[in-house]
Amino acid sequence: MTAPPLPKLQSVPPVVAAVADYEPLARERLSASAWAYLDGGAADELTVADNRAAFARLRLRARVLRSFPPGSGTACEIFGLRLPHPILLAPVAYQKLAHPDGEIATVLGASAMRAGMIVSTQASVSLEDVARAAETPLWFQIYIQHDRKFTLDLVRRAEGAGYRALVLSVDAPISGLRNREQRAGFAFPPDVFPVNLRGLAPLPQATSMSLFDNPLIAAAATWKDVTWLRSQTRLPLVLKGIMTADDAVRGLDAGVDGIVVSNHGGRVLDGQPASIDILPEIADVVAGRAPILLDGGIRRGSDVFKAVALGARAVLIGRAFVHGLAAAGAIGVAHVLRILHAELEATMVLTGCDSLAAISPDAIRGDSSRSHAGISGDDPVH
């Protein structure tokens, strides 16, 4: 018989020294079904694993006897927002699965660390309620719904609630084949649902076994919808889910203001490369035209450093903060951010970088297998 979940922590235990230490604490405080949903990935979860392994393949160059003048630090600016560090919370749906307070606990933790937060369309708390609780900048993640008027209404709600940017997820026209969820028999509890989508009329029932004949595919967003959405708002528009240089260029040509290099945390299409492996080629074609962000596999402040070195302006964390949320609510979220920030600072000092702008590709060494994307032996990345 499976033991019931343990109660949430009210303080951070001394055993938590790194972000990874929250994972077992979270797992024992969630049902097997909720854990399968929140932590699982698509199919064999190869991409989930590679998102982590790819960071481990990258090595850092230590530089010594460097000075750090007044004003040194991790400050970051995106779309006119001055943030104390380049670590934002990724959009994660249905956070009440992790904690009874859901996105409210998350935004309180983010506010404590002045971290930007991206609120999911599929949040389990309304976008307005999250905004009212926030003391930190919010962006709103959106999927283009089959009802374009409903989509535009969501945009207007986000604008009215004070959100500072729109993040359009473009890599999930369908849900991934998440076998771990299937094996766990996952089903949403009745009190967890996408409250922001109340009133959205359902699609017609599928009449064919073929996915290509499904109304969901017929209504899926295309590049025309990106152009349409760009024309409908003055907020910065960021495309999330870009994994090829061609798509990055096409997005910029459509007028988007930023790119998130992301494989959706390995939750949609298994077998994709790690997002950090794709970052250099996208940074090369974007060539400074727009800020690039990255998510997927970040568990250390040194991972944040590596992403910045290879072309990211900032990073998004997902599972890392969810583990903190599931274990200890707002306190856990804030502590995860604090750990990553402290580790980023330490990595910068030990590599001789006094600002994010000082972190260059030369800070990265190739792994011993000489196989990382674009990196050969001990040669600097260019």
Residues 168-211 pLDDT 10s? 999 999 999 999 999 999 999 999 999 999 999 999 988 899 99
The stretch 299-320 carries a mean pLDDT of 98
User: Is residue 136 one of the residues assigned to a domain?
Assistant: yes
Burial code of 291-304, b = ≥16 C-beta within 10 A, e = fewer?
A: bbbbbbbbbbbbbb
Is the confidence at residue 378, as pLDDT, over 50?
no
Tokens of 50: 């590679």
Query: What's 191's domain CATH number?
Result: 3.20.20.70
Spatial contact of 184 and 36, defined as CB atoms under 8 Å apart: yes
User: Do 226 and 252 touch, CB atoms closer than 8 A?
Assistant: no
Bridge partners (DSSP) listed for residue 259:
239, 292
> What is the structure's pLDDT at 362?
96
Alpha helices in the chain (DSSP H): 22-27, 32-39, 46-57, 103-112, 127-133, 148-160, 179-184, 215-218, 223-232, 245-253, 275-286, 301-309, 319-350
Task: Provide the pLDDT confidence category of residue 349 given band limits of 50, 70 and 90.
Answer: very high
Catalytic residue among 146, 264, 335, 341: 264
Q: Distance between CA atoms of 281 and 330, rounded to whole angstroms?
A: 36
Report yes or no on 250 lying in a domain. Answer: yes
DSSP, collapsed to helix, strand or coil, labels residue 362 as helix
Tell me if 59 sits within 8 A of 379, measured CB to CB: no
Structural domain count, the chain: 1
115 is a domain residue: yes
Confidence of residue 347 (pLDDT cuts 50, 70, 90): very high
Under the banding of pLDDT at 50, 70 and 90, the label for residue 127 is: very high
At 291, the pLDDT band (50, 70, 90 cuts) reads: very high
Q: Is residue 369 part of a domain?
A: no
Question: What pLDDT is recorded for position 3?
Answer: 84
pTM of the model: 0.94
Residues of the domain holding 286: 19-65+73-197+214-357
Contact between residue 5 and residue 327 where contact means Cβ atoms under 8 Å apart: no
Does pLDDT of 369 surpass 50? no
- Average pLDDT score, the chain: 94
Does pLDDT of 376 surpass 90?
A: no
pLDDT one-digit tens code per residue, 220-234: 999 999 999 999 999
- pLDDT score, position 225: 97
**Cβ neighbour number for residue 240 with a 10 Å cutoff:** 24
- The answer to whether residue 380 sits within a structural domain is no
Structure tokens belonging to residue 323: 């583990």
Please, which pLDDT band fits residue 373 given cuts at 50, 70 and 90? very low
Q: Is residue 11 part of a domain?
A: no
Residue 27 belongs to some domain of the structure:
yes
Q: How confident is the model at residue 2 (pLDDT cuts 50, 70, 90)?
A: confident
pLDDT of residue 371: 38
State percent of the chain over pLDDT 90: 93
Q: Residue 208 domain-assigned?
A: no
Per-residue confidence band for 1, with pLDDT thresholds at 50, 70 and 90 = low
- 85 is an active site residue: no
